[in-house]
Amino acid sequence: MPFLLLVLMICRTAAADTLLVLGDSLSAGYRMPAASAWPALLDKQWEKRQTRVINGSISGDTAAQGLARLPALLAEHKPRWVVIELGGNDGLRGFPPAGIASALNQVIGDIKAANAQPILMQIRLPANYGRRYNESFSAIYATLATSNNVPLLPFFMEEVYLKPEWMQDDGIHPNASAQPFIADWMARHLNPLVNHDS
C-alpha cells in the first residue's frame, strides 16, 4: 500500500508540472521540424526546473477547432497550465468577433474545469483588415482575460515582425531563425506565471 501511494504521488507531481500550448501555425512550427518550434525549445530550457512543455498546436486551427481538440489533450496530458494561442486564423478569415470570443471563452472554461490555469495570448491582425474589424478583434482578448480573471500575454509576433530576417517569405509566419528568440521571450513572460509554489 505505501508503494502504491508513492507511485500515485509521483504521477500527480509529473502531471502538475506540464504546460500545454494550444495554438495554430505560429506555435506549431509551420514549414519546419517540430523540434525547431519554440515550444520544443522552451521544453529544453525548462528541463532543469522539471516543467514539461507539450505542443498541442496545429497549423490552420481556428478557435473552434482548438476547442474541439482540447478535451482529448487535457485528458492525455493533464496540464497544470495551458497557453491559448488561437484566433488568428479566425481573424484572417473575417469570422465574426462574437463567435471567436464565444469559442475562446469556452476554451478557458474547459481548462478551468480540468483544474488547469489558462494563460491567454493577445493576437493581432495586419492593419489591412480595416480599423473597425481590427479593433473589435483585438478587444476580444483583453475582455476575456478580465472577465475570466486570467493572465493575458502580449503578442510575440509584434517583435518578430520588426526583423524581416526572422520572417518566412509569406510575411505571416516566423522562420526557424526566430524560434530561439520566441522561446526566450515566452520563458521571460511565463516565468512569473508558471509558479510551482502556488
Q: How is the chain split into domains, by residue range? A: 17-28+37-190
Place of cell 500500500: 1
The answer to whether 181 and 166 have CB atoms below 8 angstroms apart is: yes
Q: What mean pLDDT do residues 116-128 have?
A: 93
Q: What is the pLDDT of residue 48?
A: 84
Place of cell 514539461: 52
User: CA–CA separation, 136 vs 101, rounded Å?
Assistant: 10
Query: DSSP letters of the chain?
Result: -HHHHHHHHHHHHHHHTEEEEEE-HHHHTTTS-GGGSHHHHHHHHTTTTT-EEEE---TT--HHHHHHHHHHHHHHH--SEEEEE--HHHHHTT--HHHHHHHHHHHHHHHHHTT-EEEEE-----GGG-HHHHHHHHHHHHHHHHHHT--EE--THHHHTT-GGGB-TTSSSB-GGGHHHHHHHHHHHHTTTS-TT-
Q: Is the pLDDT of residue 115 over 50?
A: yes
- pLDDT tens per residue, range 14-44: 444 899 999 999 999 999 999 999 999 999 9
Q: What is the pLDDT of residue 128?
A: 81
Q: Which residues are catalytic?
A: 25, 170, 173
User: CA–CA separation, 66 vs 123, rounded Å?
Assistant: 15
- pLDDT tens per residue, range 138-186: 999 999 999 999 999 999 999 999 999 999 999 899 999 999 999 999 9
For residues 35, 39, 41, 42, the Cα torsion angle rounded to the nearest 10 degrees is -160
User: CA–CA separation, 18 vs 4, rounded Å?
Assistant: 22
Cell digits for 176? 526557424
Q: What is the pLDDT of residue 9?
A: 44
The answer to whether 113 and 149 have CB atoms below 8 angstroms apart is: no
Q: Is the pLDDT of residue 1 over 80?
A: no
197 pLDDT tier (thresholds 50, 70, 90): low
Phi, then psi, of 117 in degrees rounded to 5: -100, 115
CA dihedral (183, 189, 190, 191) positive or negative? positive
- pLDDT tens per residue, range 62-86: 999 999 999 999 999 999 999 999 9
User: CA–CA separation, 118 vs 110, rounded Å?
Assistant: 9
Q: Is the pLDDT of residue 8 over 70?
A: no
User: CA–CA separation, 131 vs 111, rounded Å?
Assistant: 32
Q: Is the pLDDT of residue 98 over 90?
A: yes
Q: What CATH number does domain 17-28+37-190 carry, 3.40.50.1110, 3.40.47.10, 3.40.1160.10, 3.40.190.10?
A: 3.40.50.1110
pTM above 0.85, yes or no: yes
The single-letter code of the amino acid at 129 is Y
Q: What is the pLDDT of residue 196?
A: 56
